């Protein structure tokens, strides 16, 4: 019904054209990217350190300048004017161009790093060589395609993080959360692992080498953490290596459940996680593109929980493949490991079925199917697998398939490349096994909920529109029902954009956490109690 | 099977239909000329502002209606014939009913101003109004200035909308301060300031004398009655309140006042015909409420109530404690209970007002001077918990109790700065008390013994 034509402007709709400052800022940012692109095409820069600095500075300053122009002179408040008129944020031409460019970048990064200048042996070329000085400064080693990616990723989170801080400067929850993701990306994902690499070969590691380890990257998001080569590296690196391995296990079985119980999975997904961090900062302009239909929710549940089953099987198979059979050599053998996994899963599944069945309703059937598949497979491993084989597949094949399909295609190419098409949390919603596991816990056993403020909802739909996880928040709010959804990452934007102060993210008692009312607060009290009786 | 026909698919009509469906298998037909599917009227502004697309304003997916066996008819009801129990649409189809629910909402007020029907003069209520606005004011080249007449909730929304497209806005408010027929002066003053802060040309004590046409019959300018000033403009927004949309009932036997007259059971004078929502007028006002309540929430509550009656459980419309909310540009407003402005408040109604020294935050709390019972709160820029205030009103808590437990009522997002101690210390000074603020208690909030 809008008579407005979608504009080709990156942001801004006539009469809100880009300001002169924003045009110059765009030019600055693009020129920074341009330097990287020239490097890709093997233009040789004389002083690589200097040119890399110029390039990254131009990208960061361009983004900041653009954002400053956009928000500085406005009164603090919700800044969604024209979101659906702008080509870039409403699946217009620029949206598709950006989507294709990002997707292309990921395909090259994952599958053709030689085009970025990776030579395998000998010195780096191209854009990877441009990053050598920075990499040497941090870890002492030459750059890889992953270092290039990690640097750009961190730059994106920092620059767009500051944009987000300005955009939501009236909202302390959003500000603190964003500072948190910026910190964890900068420190944990980027600097610490690079600096830790300097310890490799050092005597405090007993001369061993630690694997590259982003400490906040927890299994099963970090699906490769327990692969043979990493375990060897951990175990060969003295007490520190062993401590890190223990930390990796403790973070799955102790830290994650406790924090998710207390605060919901938001403690991770929108405060710590790097995937979430990128989605919340660089992806913020695309959050409204997520699909809110019931159908999408159904697909989401099947897909994401299948990934959980897949990653559990894959990891079990991988660990199984390098364990031995001889109890005298090491207490953990192939069969004790399988039995252990089986018991653990049975305990979890049994607990859910016994105590939480009511909250699961028919989803329980799907849970049962998933559980059954895993247990059967475990039995299968035991009886039908030979050395290094799981059924007929090599465990290595299973691992490679997961790494290709889920690790690369899903989380990278689709998850991030398609930001401008499917919204910013496609990976987190449909693919991330870590989010799925914490989601089950959030739904069944957590103090977190989004409280609906009595009868104040006017069904306007801002909350649903801006939910990056595709939750139809309004459908709960307009019933006076609290929002307790497995997929909610607690970004808090629904609460921020609500014009009537209806939604509040909070941690409270489990009792009465979900309450659907047919008649809402504010009506005849007798009618309310009559109708709401269940 | 009994056939229930509902005219109007706004919040009142749709709530009725949904609740009837929950309670029964009756045949339900929803008729609307405005839109094919239910949408949230309050969200129309966000479509013009580019925050949402129109489909985002629809709370239910399109398959919802068929799945729940609610028949939708897209048409305009011309006539109601109570004797034959038939409604006739403008395309001459007729639909017979067993029970008829009138939920046709409102239309913008026009007070007979000269030029009020010119091209470029419009209200803002319906989907069609929004479409018209896209034509009249797509950008600041077509619409070089807009004049808004009427300082209420729709007026300020329209001003906000137009400002997102950088259209200069002159805002004529008849009263001496924005919405001061509803708001106490401190609050009204803060909103005045906020309006001007958004570069809206706010004219207080200014009412419309006439709208002048150009040679093509389009609006050319408006003249302000008090000063005689003429303001050249391309759009005039008439937002001086709304009135029930019931012209099509004039020749029926249904008793009409300003709205469709109903009793407490929401029944009209004609058997099997009911009216709810904006278009219903109570014979006698309920408590401090107005006989016609053109509010989203009351429309919904009437729908919840009427569905009971229609499904065999005759139920009076007895709304609970008054509440409402709105947003004035960037400032959210909520109200629980009653706070009246200086002009209309009773002698025993005492006010305590607190305003933040530089942020746009304030509250006004009303209480009874003699009994000290808490009467209501207006809150601007600080979200409050509906459930807590509803409980305090029911329990007839004292102002001292409310002051001491303010932290329980706060509904702002986590980590927001709170102002309970500032508020209470001002209260203590002003009323010579010594109330100590209690810490927020989850046990009290969530009612855990």
Q: How far is CA A234 from CA B122, B202, B313, B388, in A?
A: 73, 69, 71, 54
B45 vs B435: CA distance, rounded Å = 43
Residue B353 in this model has a pLDDT that exceeds 80 = yes
A245, A236 contact by CB (below 8 A): no
Domain boundary among B286, B310, B334: B310
Sorted by where each begins, the domain ranges of chain A are 1-73+112-199, 447-532
ω into A15 cis (within 30 of 0): yes
Establish if B115 belongs to a structural domain: no
Residue A120 in this model has a pLDDT that exceeds 70 = yes
Q: Is the Cβ of A519 closer than 8 Å to some Cβ of chain B? A: yes
Cβ-defined contact of B446 to A506 (cutoff 8 Å): no
Mean pLDDT, residues B36-53: 96
What pTM value is reported for the model? Answer: 0.93
Task: Say yes or no: B154 and B170 in one domain.
Answer: yes
Q: Are strands A503-507 and B94-96 parallel, antiparallel or unpaired?
A: unpaired
Mean pLDDT, residues A92-109: 93
pLDDT digits (tens, 9 = 90+) for A66-91: 999 999 889 999 999 999 999 999 99
Backbone φ, ψ for residue B231 (5° rounding): -115, 120
Task: Say yes or no: B248 and B268 in one domain.
Answer: yes
Residue A117 in this model has a pLDDT that exceeds 60 = yes
Kindly state the helix (H) or strand (E) to which residue B334 belongs, with its residue range.
Answer: strand B331-337
B44, A461 contact by CB (below 8 A): no
Q: What single DSSP character describes residue A433? A: H
Give the sheet arrangement for strand B86-89, strand by strand.
B77-81, B86-89, B94-96
Cβ-defined contact of B134 to A3 (cutoff 8 Å): yes
Most B CBs within 10 Å: which of A170, A171, A457, A460, as the mutation test of the B interface?
A: A460
The SS3 of residue B290 is: coil
Establish if B52 belongs to a structural domain: yes
Establish if B114 belongs to a structural domain: no
Q: CA of B232 to nearest chain A CA: how many angstroms apart?
A: 20
Distance of CA A350 to the CA centre of its chain: 29
Mean pLDDT, residues A202-222: 85
Residue A376 in this model has a pLDDT that exceeds 80 = no
The CATH fold assigned to A447-532 is: Alpha-Beta Plaits (3.30.70)
pLDDT the model gives residue A364: 62
pLDDT the model gives residue A356: 74
Task: Say yes or no: B208 and B258 in one domain.
Answer: no
The SS3 of residue B411 is: coil
Q: Is the ipTM of this complex over 0.90?
A: yes
Mutual orientation of helices A48-71 and A20-40 as an angle, nearest 10°?
150
Cβ-defined contact of B448 to A511 (cutoff 8 Å): yes
Q: Is the Cβ of A533 closer than 8 Å to some Cβ of chain B? A: no
SS (H, E, C) A465-532: HCCCCCCCHHHHHCCCCCECCCCCCCCCHHHHHCCCCCEEEEECCCCCCCCCCCCCCCCCHHHHHHHH
Cβ-defined contact of A458 to B43 (cutoff 8 Å): yes
**Mean pLDDT score across all residues of chain A:** 87
Residue A282 in this model has a pLDDT that exceeds 90 = yes
pLDDT category of residue A161 using cuts at 50, 70 and 90: very high
Establish if B112 belongs to a structural domain: no
Residue A36 in this model has a pLDDT that exceeds 80 = yes
Kindly state the helix (H) or strand (E) to which residue B106 belongs, with its residue range.
Answer: strand B106-108
A227 vs A402: CA distance, rounded Å = 13
Q: Which residues of B touch A81 (CB under 8 A)?
A: 49-51, 164
pLDDT the model gives residue A446: 94
Q: CA of A173 to nearest chain B CA: how many angstroms apart?
A: 6
pLDDT digits (tens, 9 = 90+) for A445-469: 999 999 999 999 999 999 999 999 9
Give the CATH number of the domain where residue B266 resides.
3.50.50.60
pLDDT digits (tens, 9 = 90+) for A319-359: 888 887 777 767 788 888 888 888 888 888 888 777 777 76
Task: Say yes or no: B305 and B248 in one domain.
Answer: yes
Residue A12 in this model has a pLDDT that exceeds 50 = no
pLDDT the model gives residue A42: 80
pLDDT the model gives residue B307: 97
Cβ-defined contact of B411 to A453 (cutoff 8 Å): yes
pLDDT the model gives residue A11: 41
B10 vs A170: CA distance, rounded Å = 34
pLDDT category of residue A534 using cuts at 50, 70 and 90: low
B233 vs B144: CA distance, rounded Å = 7
pLDDT the model gives residue A386: 60
pLDDT the model gives residue A384: 66
The percentage of residues in chain A with a pLDDT greater than 70, rounded to a whole number, is 92
Residue A382 in this model has a pLDDT that exceeds 90 = no
Which candidate from A13, A75, A478 shows the least CB-CB separation from B198?
A75
Q: CA of A11 to nearest chain B CA: how many angstroms apart?
A: 12
pLDDT category of residue A14 using cuts at 50, 70 and 90: very low
Give the CATH number of the domain where residue B350 resides.
3.30.390.30
Number of domains chain B is built from: 3
Residue A8 in this model has a pLDDT that exceeds 90 = no
Residue of chain B nearest A4, judged by CA positions: B138
pLDDT digits (tens, 9 = 90+) for A121-153: 778 888 999 999 999 999 888 899 999 999 999
Task: Say yes or no: B101 and B250 in one domain.
Answer: yes
The pair of structure tokens assigned to A208 is 């061993």
B378, B363 contact by CB (below 8 A): yes
Residue B290 in this model has a pLDDT that exceeds 60 = yes
Task: Say yes or no: B47 and B72 in one domain.
Answer: yes
A-B interface: how many C-beta pairs under 8 angstroms? 198
Domain assignment of residue B294, given as a range: 3-107+243-310
Task: Say yes or no: B349 and B432 in one domain.
Answer: yes
Domain boundary among B266, B282, B310: B310
Q: Is the Cβ of A82 closer than 8 Å to some Cβ of chain B? A: yes
Q: Which residues of B touch A478 (CB under 8 A)?
A: 59
Cβ-defined contact of B415 to A173 (cutoff 8 Å): yes
pLDDT digits (tens, 9 = 90+) for B120-129: 999 999 999 9
Mean pLDDT, residues A269-296: 96
Per the DSSP assignment, residues forming a β-bridge with B301 are none
Establish if B226 belongs to a structural domain: yes
Q: CA of B217 to nearest chain A CA: how many angstroms apart?
A: 23
Q: Which of B347, B394, B404 is nearest to B370 (CA)?
A: B347
Establish if B316 belongs to a structural domain: no
pLDDT the model gives residue A389: 62
Q: Which residues of A touch B301 (CB under 8 A)?
A: 520, 522-524
The pair of structure tokens assigned to B433 is 């008390």
pLDDT category of residue B238 using cuts at 50, 70 and 90: very high
Cβ-defined contact of A501 to B411 (cutoff 8 Å): yes
pLDDT category of residue A15 using cuts at 50, 70 and 90: very low
Establish if B128 belongs to a structural domain: yes
Task: Say yes or no: B203 and B102 in one domain.
Answer: no
pLDDT category of residue A7 using cuts at 50, 70 and 90: very low
Residue with tokens 């209480």: B367
Cβ-defined contact of B50 to A81 (cutoff 8 Å): yes
Task: Say yes or no: B142 and B64 in one domain.
Answer: no
Backbone φ, ψ for residue B129 (5° rounding): -60, -40
pLDDT the model gives residue A9: 46
pLDDT the model gives residue B411: 97
Cβ-defined contact of A500 to B11 (cutoff 8 Å): no
B175, B181 contact by CB (below 8 A): yes
pLDDT the model gives residue A393: 67
Cβ-defined contact of A474 to B59 (cutoff 8 Å): yes
Q: Is the Cβ of A393 closer than 8 Å to some Cβ of chain B? A: no
Task: Say yes or no: B327 and B413 in one domain.
Answer: yes
Which candidate from B320, B413, B416 shows the least CB-CB separation from A524?
B320
Torsion region of B447: left, alpha or beta (phi above 0 gives left; psi -120 to 50 gives alpha)? left
Which candidate from B52, B141, B413 shows the least CB-CB separation from A15?
B141
Q: Which residues of A touch B417 (CB under 8 A)?
A: 172
pLDDT the model gives residue A388: 56
Q: CA of A433 to nearest chain B CA: how many angstroms apart?
A: 28
Q: CA of A502 to nearest chain B CA: how many angstroms apart?
A: 8
């Amino acid at each position: 019904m809008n008579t407005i034509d979608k504009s080709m402007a990156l942001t801004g709709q006539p009469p809100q054209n880009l300001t002169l400052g924003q045009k110059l800022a765009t030019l600055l940012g693009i020129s920074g990217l341009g330097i990287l692109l020239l490097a890709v095409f093997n233009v040789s820069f004389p002083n690589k350190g200097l040119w890399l600095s110029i390039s990254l500075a131009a990208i960061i300053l361009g983004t900041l300048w653009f954002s400053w122009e956009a928000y500085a002179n406005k009164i603090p408040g919700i800044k969604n004017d024209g979101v659906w008129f702008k080509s870039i944020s409403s699946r217009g031409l620029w949206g598709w161009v950006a989507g294709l460019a990002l997707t292309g970048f990921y395909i090259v990064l994952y599958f053709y790093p030689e085009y970025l200048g990776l030579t395998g042996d000998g010195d780096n070329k191209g854009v990877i060589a441009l990053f050598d000085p920075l990499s040497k400064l941090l870890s002492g080693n030459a750059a890889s395609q992953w270092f290039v990616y990690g640097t750009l990723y961190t730059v994106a989170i920092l620059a767009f993080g500051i944009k987000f801080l300005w955009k939501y400067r009236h909202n302390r929850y959003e500000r603190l959360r964003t500072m948190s993701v910026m910190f964890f990306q900068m420190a944990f994902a980027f600097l610490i692992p690079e600096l830790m690499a300097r310890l490799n070969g050092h005597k405090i590691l007993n001369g061993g080498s630690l694997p590259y380890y982003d400490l906040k990257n927890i299994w099963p998001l970090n699906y490769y953490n327990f692969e043979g080569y990493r375990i060897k590296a951990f175990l060969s690196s003295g007490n520190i290596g062993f401590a890190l391995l223990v930390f990796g296990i403790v973070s799955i079985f102790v830290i994650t459940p406790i924090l998710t119980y207390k605060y919901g999975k938001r403690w991770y997904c929108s405060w710590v996680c790097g995937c979430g961090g990128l989605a919340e900062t660089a992806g913020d302009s695309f959050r409204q593109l997520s699909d809110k239909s019931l159908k999408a929710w159904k697909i989401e549940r099947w897909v994401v929980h299948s990934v959980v089953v897949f990653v559990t099987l894959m990891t079990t198979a991988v660990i199984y493949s390098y364990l031995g059979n001889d109890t005298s050599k090491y207490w953990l053998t192939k069969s004790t490991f399988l039995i252990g996994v089986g018991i653990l899963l049975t305990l979890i599944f049994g607990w859910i079925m016994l105590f939480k069945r009511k909250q699961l309703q028919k989803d329980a059937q799907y849970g049962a199917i998933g559980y059954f598949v895993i247990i059967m497979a475990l039995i299968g491993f035991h009886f039908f697998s030979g050395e290094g084989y799981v059924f007929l597949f090599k465990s290595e094949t299973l691992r490679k398939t997961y790494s290709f399909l889920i690790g690369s295609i899903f989380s990278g190419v689709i998850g991030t490349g398609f930001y401008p098409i499917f919204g910013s949390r496609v990976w987190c919603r449909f693919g991330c096994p870590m989010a799925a596991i914490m989601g089950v816990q959030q739904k069944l056993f957590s103090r977190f909920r989004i409280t609906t403020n009595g009868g104040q909802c006017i069904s306007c739909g801002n909350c649903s529109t801006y939910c990056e996880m595709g939750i139809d928040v309004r459908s709960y709010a307009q019933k006076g029902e609290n929002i307790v959804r497995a997929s909610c990452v607690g970004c808090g934007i629904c609460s921020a954009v609500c014009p009537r102060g209806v939604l509040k993210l909070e941690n409270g008692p489990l009792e009465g956490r979900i309450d659907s009312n047919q008649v809402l607060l504010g009506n005849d009290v007798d009618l309310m109690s009559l109708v709401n009786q269940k | 099977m009994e056939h229930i026909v509902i005219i109007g698919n706004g919040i009142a009509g749709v709530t009725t239909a949904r609740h009837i469906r929950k309670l029964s298998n009756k045949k339900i037909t929803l008729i609307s000329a405005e839109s094919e599917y239910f949408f949230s009227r309050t969200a129309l502004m966000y479509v013009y502002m580019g925050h949402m697309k129109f489909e985002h304003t629809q709370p239910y997916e399109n398959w919802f209606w068929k799945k729940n066996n609610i028949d939708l008819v897209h048409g305009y009801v011309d006539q109601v014939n109570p004797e034959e129990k038939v409604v006739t649409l403008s395309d001459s189809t007729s639909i017979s009913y067993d029970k008829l629910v009138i939920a046709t909402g409102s239309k913008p007020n026009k007070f007979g101003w000269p030029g009020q029907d010119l091209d470029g003069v419009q209200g803002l209520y319906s989907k069609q109004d929004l479409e018209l606005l896209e034509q009249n004011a797509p950008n600041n080249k077509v619409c070089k200035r807009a004049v808004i007449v009427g300082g209420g909730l729709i007026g300020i929304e329209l001003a906000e909308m137009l400002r997102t497209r950088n259209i200069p806005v002159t805002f004529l408010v008849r009263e001496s301060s924005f919405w001061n027929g509803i708001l106490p002066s401190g609050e009204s003053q803060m909103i005045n300031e906020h309006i001007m802060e958004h570069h809206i040309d706010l004219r207080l004590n200014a009412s419309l004398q006439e709208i002048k046409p150009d040679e093509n019959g389009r609006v050319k300018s408006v003249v302000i009655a008090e000063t005689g000033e003429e303001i050249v403009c391309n759009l005039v927004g008439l937002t001086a309140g709304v009135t029930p949309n019931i012209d099509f009932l004039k020749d029926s036997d249904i008793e009409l006042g300003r709205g469709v007259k109903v009793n407490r059971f929401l029944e009209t004078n004609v058997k099997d015909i009911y009216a709810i929502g904006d278009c219903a007028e109570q014979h006698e006002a309920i408590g401090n409420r107005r006989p016609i309540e053109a509010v989203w929430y009351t429309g919904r509550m009437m729908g919840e109530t009427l569905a009971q009656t229609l499904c065999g459980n005759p139920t009076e419309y007895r709304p609970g404690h008054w509440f409402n909310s709105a947003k004035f540009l960037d400032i959210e407003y909520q109200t629980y209970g009653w706070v009246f402005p200086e002009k209309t408040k009773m002698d025993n109604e005492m006010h305590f007002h607190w305003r933040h020294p530089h942020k746009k935050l304030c509250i006004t709390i009303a209480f009874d001077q003699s009994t000290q019972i808490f009467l209501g709160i207006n809150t601007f820029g600080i979200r409050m918990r509906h459930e807590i205030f509803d409980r305090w009103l029911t329990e007839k808590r004292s102002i001292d109790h409310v002051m001491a437990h303010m932290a329980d009522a706060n509904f702002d997002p986590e980590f927001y700065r709170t102002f309970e101690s500032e508020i209470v210390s001002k209260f203590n000074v002003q009323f010579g008390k010594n109330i100590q603020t209690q810490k927020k208690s989850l046990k009290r909030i969530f009612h855990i013994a």
